[in-house]
Structure 1
Amino acid sequence: MTDLNHLFISLLLLVLVSLTLCSSATAHQNEQDTPITRFQRYLRIKTAHPTPDYTSAINFLTQQAQSIPNLQIKTLSFSSSPHHIKPLLLLTLPGSNPSLPSILFNSHIDSVPAEPDKWIHDPFAATLTPEGKIYARGAQDDKCIGMQYLESLRNIQKDPNFKMPIRTIHVSYVPDEEIGGFDGMMKFVESKEFKDLNIGFMLDEGQTSINDEFRVFYADRAPWNLVIKAKGNPGHGSKLFDNSAMENLMKSVELMTKFREYQFDLVKDGLKMTSEVISVNPVYLKAGTPSPTGFVMNMQPSEAEAGFDVRLPPTADSDMLKRRITEEWAPAIRNMTYEITHKGPLRDYTGRPLVTPTNSSNPWWSVFEQAVIAAGGKLAKPEILASTTDAKYLRQIGIPTFGFSPMKNTPILLHDHNEYLEVSVYLEGIKIYESIMKGLSSFEGDTS
Structure 2
Amino acid sequence: MTEPVEDLCARLIRFDTTNRGHGQGRGERDAAELVADLLTDAGQKPVLLERAARRSNVVARVAGARPDLPALLVQMHLDVVPADPDEWSVDPFSGEIRDGFVWGRGAVDMKDMCASVLTVLGRWSEEGRVPQRDIVVAFVADEEDTGYYGAHWLVKEHRELFEGCVAAIGESGGYTVPVRREDGSLVRLYPVGTAERGTAHLLLTATGRAGHGSRRNDDNAVVKLVDSLHRLSAHQWPVVLTPAVRAFIERTAAALDVPVDWDDVDGTIARFGPAVKLVENTVRNSTRPTVLSAGYKVNVVPGVAQAQVDTRVLPGTEEWMLSDIDNLLGPGIRREFIANQPPVESRVDSPWFDTMAAAIRAQDPDGVVVPYCMGGGTDAKAFSKLGIECFGFAPLLLPEGFDYRAMAHGVDERVPVEGLRFGVEVLDRVMSG
Instruction: Classify the TM-score, shorter chain.
Output: 0.7 to 0.9
Residue 340 of structure 1 corresponds to which residue in structure 2? 337
Contact 2:190/2:368 (8 A) holds in 1? yes
Distance in 2, Cα, partners of 1:180 & 1:383: 23
> What are the Cα deviations for residues 320-347 of structure 1, in whole angstroms up to 9, with x where unaligned?
2222233331x3x3x321211110023x
Residue 136 of structure 1 corresponds to which residue in structure 2? 104
Aligned pairs for 1:25-424 (under 5 A) are 33-49=3-19, 50-68=24-42, 71-77=43-49, 79=51, 81=52, 84-129=53-98, 131-158=99-126, 163-191=129-157, 194=160, 197-207=163-173, 208-211=175-178, 212-259=188-235, 269-270=267-268, 273-290=280-297, 296=298, 298-316=299-317, 318-329=318-329, 331=330, 333=331, 335-346=332-343, 354-359=344-349, 362-376=350-364, 378-407=367-396, 408-409=398-399, 410-411=402-403, 412=405, 413-424=407-418
Distance in 2, Cα, partners of 1:419 & 1:268: 30
Unaligned runs of 5+ in 1: 1-31, 291-295, 347-353, 441-448
One-letter identity of the residue aligned with 1:57: A
4+ residue stretches of structure 1 with deviation over 6 A? 261-264
Alignment coverage as a number of residue pairs: 380
Contact 1:108/1:175 (8 A) holds in 2? yes
Contact 1:75/1:89 (8 A) holds in 2? yes
Contact 1:267/1:273 (8 A) holds in 2? no
Question: In the TM superposition, what is the alpha-carbon distance from 1:124 to its structure 2 partner?
Answer: 0.8
Give TM-score scaled by structure 2 length: 0.80
> What are the Cα deviations for residues 400-424 of structure 1, in whole angstroms up to 9, with x where unaligned?
2211121333311211122111111
Give TM-score scaled by structure 1 length: 0.78
Distance in 1, Cα, partners of 2:226 & 2:104: 40
Distance in 1, Cα, partners of 2:158 & 2:81: 30
Distance in 2, Cα, partners of 1:323 & 1:106: 35
One-letter identity of the residue aligned with 2:140: V
One-letter identity of the residue aligned with 1:273: E
Tell me the SS of whatever aligns to 2:189: coil
RMSD: 2.5
One-letter identity of the residue aligned with 2:102: I
CA distance 1:414–1:210, change in 2 (3 Å): same
Question: In the TM superposition, what is the alpha-carbon distance from 1:140 to its structure 2 partner?
Answer: 0.5
Tell me the SS of whatever aligns to 1:328: helix
Contact 1:225/1:308 (8 A) holds in 2? yes
The structure carrying a bigger strand percent of its residues is 2
Distance in 2, Cα, partners of 1:307 & 1:263: 24
Question: In the TM superposition, what is the alpha-carbon distance from 1:236 to its structure 2 partner?
Answer: 4.1
Structure of larger gyration radius: 1
> What are the Cα deviations for residues 322-379 of structure 1, in whole angstroms up to 9, with x where unaligned?
22233331x3x3x321211110023xxxxxxx311121xx322222222221232624
What is the identity percentage for the equivalent residue pairs of Structure 1 and Structure 2?
24
Contact 2:171/2:392 (8 A) holds in 1? yes
Q: Once structures 1 and 2 are overlaid, which stretch shifts more, 303-312 or 206-215? A: 206-215
CA distance 1:247–1:339, change in 2 (3 Å): same
Distance in 1, Cα, partners of 2:35 & 2:176: 27
> What are the Cα deviations for residues 65-104 of structure 1, in whole angstroms up to 9, with x where unaligned?
2332xx322224251x4xx353321233211222222122
